[in-house]
Structure 1
Amino acid sequence: MLWLMTMGRRLNGVYAAFMLVAFMMGVAGALQAPTLSLFLSREVGAQPFWVGLFYTVNAIAGILVSLWLAKRSDSRGDRRRLIMFCCLMAVGNALLFAFNRHYLTLITCGVMLASIANAAMPQLFALAREYADSSAREVVMFSSVMRAQLSLAWVIGPPLAFMLALNYGFTTMFSIAAGIFVISLALIAIKLPSVPRVEQPSEEAAALAQAGGRQDKNVRMLFIASTLMWTCNTMYIIDMPLWISSDLGLPDSLAGILMGTAAGLEIPAMILAGY
């Protein structure tokens, strides 16, 4: 409660910029993800197997690229510049989906751009944590509020995505997402700081810590639980829009409303988690 009472005093321009960028990037992502299965099946004309294959290739590429970028950014380099590069790739990815309907191009060039772009959000949270640590702020609460911005973005994004796609077309929707990423890129370049790199532990210490993590039963169980949880979440995002429109015969826009409602219910939990 004390944090909320003094938030106006403590929330400087940099903190506000972090939350605004997180919100805008979240909205841009929430415009694309919920409608992707509809886009592939209706606009591209892909069969169910090829829709699933696209998600599989996209997930594998995203994991590999994110791990590589995370390792590189943790050891050296300017994290802010990496976020800017990822946002630039996100702009290119959104424009590619806006004006291209060839499956082979999307599953190659599109997946490559998306795998780099998807690393922007984790890197943004890492930069925010580093800045909070360096400025002696409430790191846990600040991270919770930033995560709440993502939930707020998903309250707005899915209904807006289906409204734009169904009424104005996917080209308009993806173009708007690209525009939001451009604005986010400008805010990152102007407002977000470059946090000096802290001294990293030696390779031997890092290897021992990594090995200890693998041998820890709690870490292994957390990994399994997280994998199962995100598998279910991904299945929900992929299948729910198609199930509502094809099987139930309900309006396509209902999927966006349901996703937005679910995201809205997350916000109180996000805030309470910071206490």
Structure 2
Amino acid sequence: MSTPTPVLVATDLDRTLIYSRAAMTGDQFDSRDLMCVEYYEGAPLSYVTTDAAQQLRTLTAEAEVVPTTTRTPEQFRRIDLPGGPWRYAIASNGGSILEDGRLDPHWRTSVDRAVREGGVSLDEITTELRSRISEEWVSKFRIADDLFCYLVVDVGTQPAGFLDDWNDWCSSRGWNASQQGRKIYTMPNSVCKSRAVAEVHRRLRDRGVLAHDAPVFAAGDGALDAEMLKAADAAIRPRHGELELMDWRHPTVSVTAAAGVAAGEEILAWFARTARLPVAS
């Protein structure tokens, strides 16, 4: 019988471990040694540094790494992340759990039930949202995984106060709204990364894959990651993104010194150091 893994690492992907060219800072795209990990419609889209790629492979060999993303399962499957394939991955902000690449229908059924019981329907949300927006500042309106919706907006022409007003309307109806760059997400409160991470942690402990006292370490950059970061035994966020703009702090959450793609390397080194695991050379 193999020795149980000592730690679970739950990490957000976009702007935490992987970066588009636009998400990099300064001359990082030209000055860093990069590896493309995602192509979309034939064009390169997301990158990690080659150092981060090696760090992630080393981390995966020693810890139970669970990619944890707001991307839908289809969008997640576009990424060829070093260290895979993954025993578990979490998509749709916790609405979907993938086990060995396959969607878990039982988890999704429980999530759908919680959404129904926790607030108004997605149809009611989208109807109200459409009445509040215009093509003058919204370029895309998307429904993701039949669970939540998001807008792609022109931040420069986005009406002042829109996000606060919309979040206020949602908050009394079991939903929340947050903004990540050009995307505004509207999410049921019951669809949450931290709940899915807790479920994966429980399953892995019950199966003897994780040690019974295995801690959870986490990383993420957006407001949708905050609950996951707080729920973890220790966590880290990059010095950029939505949480940085909010100046969001928590006693168990560290902040990187670097921003942009360099923060990805720092986050992976932090995971290894905090878990007392080997560090990639």
When normalised by structure 1's length, the TM-score is 0.25
Relative contact order, CA 8 A, sep 6+: which one is greater?
A: 1
Higher strand share: 2
When normalised by structure 2's length, the TM-score is 0.25
Higher helix share: 1
